[in-house]
Homo-oligomer: A and B are copies of this chain.
Amino acid sequence: MRALFAWCALLLACAGVMHCAEAAKARHLKWEVSHMFWSPDCEEKVLIGINGQFPGPTIRAKAGDTIVVELKNGLHTEGVVIHWHGVRQIGTPWADGTAAISQCAINPEETFTYRFVVDKPGTYFYHGHYGMQRAAGLYGSLIVDVADGEEEPFKYDGELNLLLSDWYHDSIYNQMVGLSSSPMRWIGEPQSLLINGRGQFNCSLAAAHTPGTKQCTAGGNRHCAPVILPVEPNKTYRLRIASTTSLASLNLAIGVSKKLTVVEADGNYVEPFVVDDMDIYSGDSYSVLLTTDQDPSSNYWVSIGVRGRTPKTAPALALLNYRPNRGFKLPAIAPPVTPLWNDTAHSKAFTTHIKARAGTPPPPATSDRRIELLNTQNKLDGHIKWSINNVSMVLPATPYLGSLKLGLKTALTAARPADTFGRAYDVTRPPHNPNTTTGDNVYVLRYNTTVDVVLQNANALQHNVSEVHPWHLHGHDFWVLGYGEGAYRGDAADAARLNLVNPPLRNTAVIFPYGWTALRFVADNPGVWAFHCHIEPHLHMGMGVIFAEAIDRVGKVPKEAVSCGATATALMNGDHL
């Protein structure tokens, strides 16, 4: 209501002014989250939608706008939150949408208002961040254009948006119980990949080129109707691509052209470079430019395949529809074949190619603290967990932002997690002692310090297995200083691998099998920020840490964000935020 008023006031104030359109807007949205039947890949299941849609509505705003989402929880017995992935929430850490971290989950029938500024143009998305609700379909696109009067540093004639996800037929309830069981029941590979919430299970749009598959019957208004991307010949299009997969690492390739110019990663401009295909890990977003310079008498395939795991899941296909061809005119040639799932060299080549565009602020030359995080797979009383420096993260009943702000004694366990795992650990073998512990994994960061994080990958419980993990940081972009093979030693050789000249700014970065990745950021955004593997089952199994950053500088937390657990009790007993 107040936001609506602010917006009206703005409009009125602007009435007589010419450049009014340049003023930042409050964009007011009313959403209701609910369970609904849907058939994203033609197989029906219950998923979580917003306002009766799946995926949720696309938010489109301009840099500097204030987004106001009045989110009503229409689920029957479940809490809900929404995280605005890639939005740094400067000054509004309570709007980050992480249950048990930044806010109390919104109870059924309750409404919580998210209010935050999208300060930076780019390709973002939003998603549930409670239990495995993201994997239940709670996600959508968030696209921020440059402010009026500003220009993107590249030209294009039109835009196409591709929000990528993977899809399981089993419910997230079953998945969560399976992951927590002993013996664990792994969720397995997804049944389908989805483009903008649409996929095809048990059939292929390109059956003619895919032995042993059945041709999908295209068209109609079905939930699983193929995605058609209309383009005019000889134009340049900006493809916005983001991945909110639960598990799958993806690769995208298009038609026969195979020329994609990467210009943006995670809401930051990158030095343009041209690729034939590109990797997209869960949590990543990109913009690429595509010129429609192919024979215009044909349509072309957009193909999304799985990377890094045995690809039991068929590629997702969309149609790049050269107008005036019919949308459903199937290309005569086969879909492009995305690289082999285990071609790690190809993946590394793509990822390490990404550099900051000239003009991007460089990182501070040195850091004040280095936190080394060893990623291991472990066991806890027979349950399989992921651990960081041998502690598997368990979230508290009362969210950290409120409990730390109020200084509640119950907020943190006594021992702080370690800043290093020790150099003696052999990352090439399964853990010598596979037993892990649980903990809060809260790292307390001082204001304005520069923090280096070294993510160290290792062998999992099984011999000769080390997985890719895309780590996502809330509240910040970080500079990706570099990648290395084997154990990080912190010596001159490792230092030489770091790029302090033009490292890309991102919010998600992978660690490759048996390798390490070095990141740097400045702790200048007071709040409590999750930093975790973006693979949904891995996070569920404890693969994350928490950065509690300059809590004394956090502004007045809205009561609705802390109206649960120990913070509610403290405030009911007379404490003040």
Closest to A104 in B: B107
* Cβ contact of A563, chosen from B176, B177, B564, cutoff 8 A: B564
A105-B107, A109-B396 are known; give 16 further A-B pairs, CB within 8 A: A35-B173, A37-B177, A77-B80, A78-B79, A105-B108, A107-B565, A109-B395, A109-B397, A171-B173, A560-B569, A563-B563, A563-B565, A563-B568, A564-B564, A568-B568, A572-B572
* Distance A35 CA – B179 CA, assembled complex (angstroms): 12
* Distance A161 CA – B107 CA, assembled complex (angstroms): 37
- Count residues of chain A with CB under 8 A from any CB of chain B: 41
**Residue from the set A130, A132, A397 with the largest chain B CB neighbour count within 10 Å:** A397
CB neighbours of A37 from chain B (8 A): 177-178, 181
CB neighbours of A176 from chain B (8 A): 35, 76
Asked whether, in the complex, the Cβ of A105 is within 8 Å of the Cβ of B77, the reply is yes
* Cβ contact of A77, chosen from B104, B130, B565, cutoff 8 A: B130
Q: Decide if A392 is an interface residue (CB 8 Å cutoff).
A: no
Nearest CB of B to A176, in Å: 5
| CB-CB contacts below 8 Å: A320-367 with B | none
**Residue from the set A77, A80, A130 with the largest chain B CB neighbour count within 10 Å:** A77
CB neighbours of A282 from chain B (8 A): none
Cross-chain pairs A/B with CB under 8 angstroms, 7 sampled? A78-B78, A79-B108, A110-B564, A563-B568, A564-B568, A568-B572, A571-B571
Q: Decide if A36 is an interface residue (CB 8 Å cutoff).
A: yes
* Cβ contact of A46, chosen from B78, B79, B177, cutoff 8 A: B177
Using known A-B contacts A77-B105, A109-B397, A177-B35, determine if residue A569 contacts B564 with beta carbons closer than 8 Å.
no
Q: Decide if A559 is an interface residue (CB 8 Å cutoff).
A: yes
| CB-CB contacts below 8 Å: A552-568 with B | 559-560, 563-565, 568
* Distance A511 CA – B416 CA, assembled complex (angstroms): 62
CB neighbours of A130 from chain B (8 A): 77
Nearest CB of B to A97, in Å: 14
Closest to A571 in B: B572
CB neighbours of A568 from chain B (8 A): 563-564, 568, 572
CB neighbours of A105 from chain B (8 A): 77, 107-108
Closest to A560 in B: B569
* Distance A35 CA – B560 CA, assembled complex (angstroms): 28
Contact with B along A394-413 (1 / 0, CB 8 A): 01110000000000000000
Q: Decide if A131 is an interface residue (CB 8 Å cutoff).
A: yes
Nearest CB of B to A140, in Å: 19
* Distance A573 CA – B571 CA, assembled complex (angstroms): 8
Q: Decide if A174 is an interface residue (CB 8 Å cutoff).
A: yes
Asked whether, in the complex, the Cβ of A107 is within 8 Å of the Cβ of B77, the reply is no
Nearest CB of B to A127, in Å: 14
CB neighbours of A174 from chain B (8 A): 46
* Distance A3 CA – B107 CA, assembled complex (angstroms): 29
Q: Decide if A133 is an interface residue (CB 8 Å cutoff).
A: yes
A-B CB proximity, top 4 nearest = A109-B397, A77-B131, A571-B572, A76-B131
Asked whether, in the complex, the Cβ of A107 is within 8 Å of the Cβ of B564, the reply is yes
CB neighbours of A572 from chain B (8 A): 559, 563, 568, 571-572
Closest to A72 in B: B397
CB neighbours of A560 from chain B (8 A): 569
* Distance A110 CA – B568 CA, assembled complex (angstroms): 13
Closest to A36 in B: B177
Asked whether, in the complex, the Cβ of A563 is within 8 Å of the Cβ of B559, the reply is no
* Distance A560 CA – B568 CA, assembled complex (angstroms): 9
CB neighbours of A559 from chain B (8 A): 569, 572-573
| CB-CB contacts below 8 Å: A52-104 with B | 76-80, 99-100, 104
CB neighbours of A564 from chain B (8 A): 107, 110, 563-564, 568
CB neighbours of A395 from chain B (8 A): 109
Nearest CB of B to A115, in Å: 18
Nearest CB of B to A489, in Å: 39
Closest to A130 in B: B77
Closest to A174 in B: B46
* Distance A80 CA – B108 CA, assembled complex (angstroms): 12
Asked whether, in the complex, the Cβ of A77 is within 8 Å of the Cβ of B79, the reply is yes
Nearest CB of B to A173, in Å: 5
CB neighbours of A110 from chain B (8 A): 397, 564-565
* Distance A79 CA – B108 CA, assembled complex (angstroms): 9
* Cβ contact of A397, chosen from B76, B99, B107, cutoff 8 A: B107
Using known A-B contacts A37-B181, A78-B77, A105-B77, determine if residue A46 contacts B173 with beta carbons closer than 8 Å.
yes
CB neighbours of A46 from chain B (8 A): 171, 173-174, 177
| CB-CB contacts below 8 Å: A155-188 with B | 171, 173-174, 176-178, 181
* Distance A78 CA – B110 CA, assembled complex (angstroms): 14
* Distance A395 CA – B171 CA, assembled complex (angstroms): 27
Closest to A574 in B: B574
* Distance A569 CA – B571 CA, assembled complex (angstroms): 9
CB neighbours of A99 from chain B (8 A): 77
Nearest CB of B to A541, in Å: 12
CB neighbours of A77 from chain B (8 A): 78-80, 99, 105, 130-131, 133
